[in-house]
Structure 1
Amino acid sequence: MYETLIYKGGVHKSEEIKELVEDLGGFVLQENVIQMDLILTLAVPIKDVKKVEEKAKELLGKIRPAPMVGSEIAVVSPTLARHHLPHSACDIAEYLRRHGAKTNMIGLARGAGKTISRISEDEKALINEHDLAIFAMGSFKECIENKTHLFSDIDVPVVVTGAPKIENLPGADAYVSGFGRIPRRLKRGENIRALRKLVKVVENLLDKKREEISLDPPLVPPIVVKKEIEYQVPEVKEVYSPTPVTLQLDGVRVKLDYDEYHEKIGYVEVDKYILHEISEIIPSKMYNYTLVKLLPESSLW
């Protein structure tokens, strides 16, 4: 089992911590350099976390847990219009990224209107490709309660955000108040507290999903699949989009065209298996990318 961490430090001698992680059997999942600062997203064997913390201290860097690493989250807004997609939805997505999640912004084509809002089957399919969905709703209780059909039959866990306090919202796994239509950045104290509460709710739902997966896990962890695809499919290195191989709790999203590359990806060797034997490889609703969903152990016998 691996623990996911975020390391922040200087570029100087940063190779030492990367080499240590690899020597311990861990992985450097993502690397970002901002001027002279380095941010590494790491997956480290649980028993060796102390060694990485000691090395970070030696390099005058900082290590913190990142339980959202390895998850892909959809932040959904009723529309892309300015009254539905203001700063709150963007700040929610950015705040989750700081905690290690990969977030995608999705605006519904016909989500506007209290009585006429709709969600298409393609939009549902795209949202269901993620590990969790956050629906960023508005400021009026009646409006939110009348739009539960937007998320009531989404298969992945759903968190709804809005301004008013609502005890029970049908169709949602959780509801977090304190957001709504806010035409400014979420920088005030009450906004930060709402964001922190949202992070805790999301982390709990992701942990619950991880527990369910652990009852019947895939034969190979998604982290290993990600590394093997990056090593055996050189075209991945030519992708300019961030995280060309994006981790999910039960697989990976490869940002290569499905029609052109799905066979090559399917024949990637992972441990003693061929990838298409232990996974379902399907086209994504997002730019026709390639989705690799790992099959549980029980489905292979």
Structure 2
Amino acid sequence: MYKILHFSGGVYKFDLLAEHVEDVGGLLFQENRLQIRKGSYFLSEEVQVILMVPFNELSSIRELASEIKGEIEDVEIEEPLKSNLIHSLDIYNILCKADDWVDQNIISEIEEEEYNTTGTGLAEFDDDENEDDNDHVQDKLKECLDLMISLELIEKRGTKGKSEYRILKDNNI
């Protein structure tokens, strides 16, 4: 499972932490940078970011954060949002592998295959094969996708009456 954490610290070597989080299968959310100035003089810059990492990597994340003079705090999140964030990581991985626009129905099918293989995913809400449960899974998928859009992780477009999603492309690259 995953743990949701808050990092705050300087920007010096922050990229090392960000790269390590991604390497261990984690994800960074809502990166904010704060610059402190006095008049026209720059005094300091701080980074604050929410991250999600696997439990077995907590010690390495905390150690690296300490090395770069940052602080890690646990974040307590209400269950519906926490569940959506964790399921968002699965969706994020699907979209990373596709590296292009993906239809919501395709994401749903891949999530269902993942559930049949590992027993985790949005399909865990679909114990019976009736239509109401399938609608519930589709609603949960839509919630996760909307959350990811609000966190600026993915983007959405409508094509031929269908919604397609992809990883948000950085225009600065």
TM-score (norm 2): 0.51
SS at match of 2:103: helix
Q: Which has the higher strand share?
A: 2
Q: Which residue of 2 aligns with 1:29?
A: 29
RMSD: 3.8
Give the conservation status (yes or no) of the 8 Å contact 2:87–2:144.
no
The answer to which structure, 1 or 2, has the higher relative contact order (CA under 8 A, 6+ apart) is 2
Map of 2:128 onto structure 1: none
Once the two structures are TM-superposed, the CA of residue 34 in structure 1 deviates from its matched residue by 2.3
- 1:56-105, CA deviations, whole angstroms, 9 ceiling, x for partnerless residues? 11111100001217754xxxxxxxxxxxxxxxxxxxxxxxxxxxxxxxxx
Q: 1:61 to 1:222 in 2, by over 3 A?
A: same
Aligned to 1:40: 49
CA change 1:71–1:229 in 2 (3 A) is: farther
Aligned to 1:291: 143
Displacement of 1:8: 0.4
> Which has the greater radius of gyration?
1
Q: Which runs of 5+ in 1 are unaligned?
A: 73-205, 211-220, 236-262, 284-289, 294-301
Q: CA deviation at 1:52?
A: 0.8
Partner residue, 2:89:
224
Q: Describe how 1:104-123 pairs up with structure 2 within 5 A.
A: none
Segments of structure 2 that go 5 or more residues without pairing to the other structure are 36-44, 116-121, 124-133, 146-173
Counterpart of 1:65 (choices 42, 64, 74) is: 74
**Shift in Å, 1:5:** 0.7
Aligned to 1:55: 64
- Report the CA distance between 1:13 and its aligned residue: 1.4
Larger helix fraction of residues: 2
| Residue 12 of structure 2 is aligned to residue 12 of structure 1 | yes
Q: 2:104 aligns with which of 253, 257, 265?
A: 265
**Separation in structure 2 between the aligned mates of residue 68 and residue 27 of structure 1, nearest angstrom:** 16
Trace 1:128-139 onto structure 2 (pairs within 5 A).
Answer: none
Q: Secondary structure at the match of 1:57?
A: helix
Task: Count how many residue pairs are aligned between Structure 1 and Structure 2.
Answer: 114
**Which residue matches 1:281?**
138
Deviation digits for residues 92-126 of structure 1 (CA, Å, limit 9, x no counterpart)? xxxxxxxxxxxxxxxxxxxxxxxxxxxxxxxxxxx
